[in-house]
Structure 1
């Protein structure tokens, strides 16, 4: 996949939809009854990169403070949703060591790599920062995980929603009507090619998480060194 072309297509089509009020408001972000949980492998960007993302979010907040903005603690790149969040999932129902064994096997021959966060894109429900890995290591990890989990009898729902191929990070979600579209689009254009920086990926985390990866609900299961 050509990531730059993919991100660009997403941005153009999503902005057009948002202009026409064809965007999706997430009704569950503030719901106390949301009980969707799963397990996810993820990458956490460096603090320096996350602070630059907050500068971008602060710009968005000026005109549209009523949306959902990710704090530094929650910003991540999803490597793979091993078990996609669903209502009532409980960590006690799976054998965690078996999952860790497959993950360790899947990354055994993968070296640390870099991801460059440059520019932003959008979907009909969110704003994302564009991530560009410097080699095929992330793709290799994902493919290894897919094969190894497929060959196991463990509960999983990998690629159930969509096949994950990008290295983006979702940083804002629409949880209410957009108050000021004009300023939103101006801010998006301002940061369209902004350089948020590079960071080295030396480990990945396995977490038990809610839909939004909120820090107070996330439970770290294990980390794996590359």
Structure 2
């Protein structure tokens, strides 16, 4: 996949949708009735990188404070959504050690790898940081996970919503009407090629999580150290 072209296509479509009021507002963010949970393998950028991202979010908040902005604790990259969040799923329904075992098997031969956060893109539902893996390691890991989980009897929904390929991080979700759209889009354009920093991925987390990966609703199941 050409990441730059993909992110650019997403961005252009999102700008058009925002300009024409075709963007999507998420009305479940603040709902106490939202009980969607799942299992995710993810990675977290270091504090230095998330602090850089907060500069973007601060600029957007000044213009449109009512949107949903991710705190540092929740910023992540999804390596694989093993069980996509759905209403009614609970951790008691699965054998966590079996999931840990398959992730460990998938990590055989997988070492540390680097990701660059450079620029932003967007979708009809929010704003994302563009992630660029510097090696094929992430793609190899994802393929290992696909093979191992799809050949098992464990509950999984890998690739059922979409086949994950990028390394983006969602940092803004639209939950209300966008005010001052022109100024909001100007800020996005200003950060279109901004360098948020590069980092080495040294560990991964298997977590039980809600749809938004909020810290208060996330349970760490296992941490994996890459060598």
| Displacement over 2 Å in runs of 4+ | none
Q: How many residues align?
A: 226
Query: Aligned runs of 1:1-226 on 2, under 5 Å?
Result: 1-226=1-226
User: Residue by residue, what CA displacement relative to the aligned partner does 1:98-124 show, whole Å, maximum 9, x if unpaired?
Assistant: 110110010110110110000000000
Deviation at 1:23, TM superposition (A): 0.5
- Give me the whole-angstrom Cα distance separating, in 2, the residues matched to 1:120 and 1:128: 6
- Give me the whole-angstrom Cα distance separating, in 2, the residues matched to 1:160 and 1:70: 26
User: Residue by residue, what CA displacement relative to the aligned partner does 1:153-211 show, whole Å, maximum 9, x if unpaired?
Assistant: 00000111110000000000000000110111110011000000011101110000000
Aligned-partner SS, 1:216: helix
Aligned-partner SS, 1:142: helix
User: Unpaired segments of 5 or more residues in structure 1?
Assistant: none
Aligned-partner SS, 2:216: coil
User: Residue by residue, what CA displacement relative to the aligned partner does 1:14-42 show, whole Å, maximum 9, x if unpaired?
Assistant: 10111000000001000011000000000
Aligned-partner SS, 1:97: helix
Deviation at 1:75, TM superposition (A): 0.2
User: Unpaired segments of 5 or more residues in structure 2?
Assistant: none
- The TM-score normalised by the length of structure 1 is 0.99
Deviation at 1:86, TM superposition (A): 0.3
- The TM-score normalised by the length of structure 2 is 0.99
- Give me the whole-angstrom Cα distance separating, in 1, the residues matched to 2:225 and 2:157: 24
Deviation at 1:88, TM superposition (A): 1.2
- Give me the whole-angstrom Cα distance separating, in 1, the residues matched to 2:184 and 2:220: 34
- Give me the whole-angstrom Cα distance separating, in 1, the residues matched to 2:14 and 2:163: 19
- Give me the whole-angstrom Cα distance separating, in 1, the residues matched to 2:5 and 2:107: 28
- Give me the whole-angstrom Cα distance separating, in 2, the residues matched to 1:106 and 1:63: 44
- Give me the whole-angstrom Cα distance separating, in 2, the residues matched to 1:57 and 1:47: 15
Deviation at 1:216, TM superposition (A): 0.5
- Give me the whole-angstrom Cα distance separating, in 2, the residues matched to 1:140 and 1:224: 16
Deviation at 1:2, TM superposition (A): 0.3
